[in-house]
Amino acid sequence: MKKGMLWIGLLGLIMMMAACGAENSGTESGGEEEQETGETGESGGSQEASGGNGSEADLEIFSWWTGAGEEAGLNALIDLFQEEHPDITVENAAVAGGAGTNAKAVLATRMQGNDPPSTFQVHAGEELNQSWVAADKMEPLNDFYEEEGLMDKFPGELIDMVSQDGNIYSVPVNIHRGNVIFYNMSVFEENGLEPPSTFEEFMEVADELQAAGVTPLALGDKEAWTATQIFENILLGTLGPEDYQALWDGEIAFDDERVVEAAETFKQMLGYVNEDHASRNWQDSAQLVSEGEAAMINMGDWAKGYFSNDLEMEVNEDFGYFAFPETEGNFMVISDTFGLPSGVENEDQVKQFLALLGSVEGQDTFNPLKGSIPARVDADESNYDEYGTDTIEDFREASLAPSLAHGSAASEGYLTKANQAVNIFVTQGDTERLLQSLESARSQE
């Protein structure tokens, strides 16, 4: 695509995202985190808190990691960086909103105005490549990878996801898993239930829970990505990893009978969620599981960080986990990465931060708090609990699948439209309309 065209596309996207953000911000929701810019969290004593544009700090770190379940890992990483580099002033310029709902719109405006943060959170895959690399907004990091000895420290498939035409454009800090269901162990025990591994078993378990007066599946789709995430996992379970990839590559149509079947399964699953799903965010819905009002939740394992660190629940005592039905042996990959935007003044300092987040020490400081596993292949497993070590092992052996909801499988423009289509589907339940919208969004790419 020509650059001019790309910017017109991006502008449209910014406007769409801003409209979605505005829609979301007016809704009341129990326990919702504050929508603030420049929030630094409790441990951020050494950070500057100016927030917003025109940062005076040497290093402005932009992400959407604010509030419960999100910020602890980042704050620990920044604290570590400050210990090692007390002379560099850091601003934590995080913008609240799960999966970057608001942050991505703010970032797009800044990038368009040639006011990039020193470094920013971006998912490996299309979100990085189609939004920023294609627009010539990122610096290649090949020399940096060589200097830091990173070339063989990440799985090759992951390096490919952050590369374009032989150039590497970002450093992965973690791997989150998307195809996991967390569940309240006492609720399962009280009802004599075992974790389901097929869709059929899932529906059976859900029926029993419903009969017992428990919400089977917690959902908080005030931000639509949480529902998109369920659908992508159903697609993975129904199609298998190769055809799931083929779907995003445009080789399988949305009227393929297995995709239709997946949409029907999605509709059935949505029949088991809490009534107030549209007014909750992901943390609010995860709370339903911790309180035992709901039994299960499909959430990326940032929810593991939330359960363990914020809600002080014990893994394999208070909450358990299992692979999303029919996806055992597969791994829905979500990788948060940071790169070097073109035109930043303090390149050396950005690289110093990237070196830390790409190091064993940095990854082993960040990931146990975040709920993710290290992206590096040589991290120290003794830092991770049973969920972490299990996931590290699964990741090594599983077939990997890129997440749509978290920016890897398709462009940001496509994802925005997919989220809208899913959001309409959640209320209307019209499978044909959902699949048509997903297909026609593709032809507009």
Q: Which residues would be at the binding site for ligand GAL (CB under 6 A)?
A: 64-65, 70, 98-100, 176, 300, 302, 334, 336, 406
Angle at 328 between CA 323 and CA 334, to 5 degrees: 65
How far is Cα 332 from Cα 231, in angstroms, rounded to an integer?
12
Which amino acid is it at 75?
A: N
| Distance of closest approach, residue 283 Cβ to ligand GAL, in angstroms | 9
| Distance of closest approach, residue 303 Cβ to ligand GAL, in angstroms | 9
Which of helix, strand or coil describes residue 168?
strand
Task: Return the exposure string of 250-288: e unless at least 16 CB atoms fall within 10 Å of the residue's CB, then b.
Answer: eebebebeebbebbebbbebbebbbebbbbbbbbbbbbb
Cα 300 off chain centre by = 7
Our CB check for ligand GAL shows the closer of 102 and 349 to be 102
Our CB check for ligand GAL shows the closer of 9 and 69 to be 69
| Distance of closest approach, residue 348 Cβ to ligand GAL, in angstroms | 27
Element (H, E) at 2: none
How far is Cα 203 from Cα 101, in angstroms, rounded to an integer?
31
Our CB check for ligand GAL shows the closer of 199 and 302 to be 302
| Distance of closest approach, residue 73 Cβ to ligand GAL, in angstroms | 9
How far is Cα 370 from Cα 372, in angstroms, rounded to an integer?
5
How far is Cα 260 from Cα 268, in angstroms, rounded to an integer?
13
| Distance of closest approach, residue 96 Cβ to ligand GAL, in angstroms | 9
| Distance of closest approach, residue 147 Cβ to ligand GAL, in angstroms | 27
Which amino acid is it at 72?
A: A
Our CB check for ligand GAL shows the closer of 90 and 99 to be 99
Our CB check for ligand GAL shows the closer of 302 and 338 to be 302
Our CB check for ligand GAL shows the closer of 376 and 406 to be 406
